[in-house]
Amino acid sequence: MAEYQSKILIIGSGPAGYTAAIYAARSGLNPILVSGTEIGGQLTLSEDVENYPGIEHSIRGQELMDIMKKQSLNLGVKIINDKIVEVDLNNRPFECSSENHNVFYTQSIIIATGASAKWLDISSEKPYRGFGISVCATCDGFFYRGKNVAVIGGGNSAIEEALFLSNFASSVTIIHRRDSLRAEHRLQQKIANKPQISIKYDSVVEEFIGTETTPKLEAIKIKNVKSDKIETINVDGVFIAIGHKPNTEIFQNQLELDKFGYIKTQPNSCKTNIEGVFAAGDVKNPEFRQAIIAAGSGAIAAMEAIRWLEK
Ligand code: NDP
């Protein structure tokens, strides 16, 4: 249990958080970054990252995040492995309390707590997360060229993922729990013209099957919820697209959030409705969910915070 004082406190250790920390440290502001429990954020679940500039071939998501952490430490960022569980943004300095009973007093805050993809949360799913089961087709789809994949979900994201995957995969099976898609009509029309995409309606995943030692997904067992019929489909990869949840519980009643719970920021800016509080990355931007976008957003938030502190 300790008390910390800072000019900038960064909450979150994904690409947005580390980038904000790097910019703040290089401005001589001695930022503190509180990492959260999932150190490195969503990218640590990516099998291989090829679309982040500066990487010659490909890199595991975990490795890329370890490099960002080391870069931040080398520049003097103080990183604390802890989770903020309560914030008071009504008084200055702002006060944040953590799971380990640390208290952080700070003049400005950059919130980079991200969003979490929803998983199916069945027991056989865990061993293959990041090893055949992905929550991001843009990130991992390329590795399934000529392979058979399935997409779980029936909303806009699921259909967009299926359309994207149909550029690489030889077959894409959408598995949806109801008898009609939630996705917009225009997207449904697009998949109708793609012979490699098929849909299994009224179906839920019962089990992921493969080799667990060096995790390799081989098939999924699905159940038709109307007939109870069980079917096994051979797949090399599964993309789960059943929605995301912004990590903003602690900011409810403190900051303006949109109807989905994402932090509202001013146009082309990371400024929230409270002066001195900035939001960066997926916690504010559900549209582009990419590491490079989050990193850029972290840089903007830091530059805005630096200018605000100078004032
Ligand atoms: P949605 O909430 O729209 O859809 C989630 C889908 O996953 C639904 O079909 C839902 O089924 C299904 N689902 C949820 N939980 C489970 C579960 N446990 N098991 C199986 N299936 C499950 O999320 P999206 O990520 O698709 O979209 C989020 C928001 O972003 C939406 O408002 C969407 O319109 C928007 N968006 C817009 C895009 C665009 O305009 N181009 C692109 C992507 C997203 P059910 O239908 O039965 O509830």
Q: Over the stretch 154-181, which tens digit does the pLDDT of each residue have?
A: 998 899 899 999 999 999 999 999 999 9
Residue nearest to atom 19 of ligand 1 (CA): 120
- Identify whether the C-beta of residue 31 lies closer than 8 Å to the C-beta of residue 8: yes
- Give the ligand 1 atom nearest the CA of 182: 46
Question: Is 153 a pocket residue for ligand 1 (Cβ < 6 Å)?
Answer: yes
The one-letter amino acid code at 250 reads I
The answer to whether 139 is a known catalytic residue is: yes
Residue nearest to atom 3 of ligand 1 (CA): 155
The answer to whether 270 is a known catalytic residue is: no
Q: From CA 256, how far away is CA 266, in angstroms rounded?
A: 11
Q: From CA 120, how far away is CA 167, in angstroms rounded?
A: 25
DSSP 3-state assignment of 251? helix
**CA–centroid distance, residue 171 to ligand 1 (Å):** 21
**CA–centroid distance, residue 159 to ligand 1 (Å):** 9
pLDDT at 27 (0 to 100)? 98
Residue nearest to atom 7 of ligand 1 (CA): 242
CA distances from 58 to 52, 61, 135, 142 (A): 9, 9, 18, 12
**CA–centroid distance, residue 182 to ligand 1 (Å):** 7
The one-letter amino acid code at 253 reads N
pLDDT at 288 (0 to 100)? 87
- Give the pairing type, strands 148-152 and 237-240: parallel
- Identify whether the C-beta of residue 108 lies closer than 8 Å to the C-beta of residue 31: no
Residue nearest to atom 15 of ligand 1 (CA): 242
Q: What is the pTM of this model?
A: 0.81
Contacts of 40 (CB under 8 A, 6+ apart): 13, 14, 61, 62, 65, 66, 68, 69
Question: Is 243 a pocket residue for ligand 1 (Cβ < 6 Å)?
Answer: yes
- Give the pairing type, strands 171-175 and 148-152: parallel
CA distances from 60 to 40, 49, 147, 302 (A): 12, 6, 21, 26
Name the residue of 157, 173, 184 whose CB sits within 8 Å of the most ligand 1 atoms, as the mutation to test its pocket: 157
Question: Is 156 a pocket residue for ligand 1 (Cβ < 6 Å)?
Answer: yes
pLDDT in tens, the chain (311 residues): 899 999 999 999 999 999 999 999 999 999 999 999 889 988 887 767 888 999 999 898 999 999 999 999 999 999 999 999 999 999 999 999 999 999 999 999 999 999 998 999 999 999 999 899 999 998 899 999 999 999 999 998 899 899 999 999 999 999 999 999 999 999 999 999 999 999 999 999 999 999 988 899 999 999 999 999 999 999 999 999 999 999 999 999 999 999 999 999 999 999 999 999 999 999 997 788 889 999 999 999 999 999 999 98
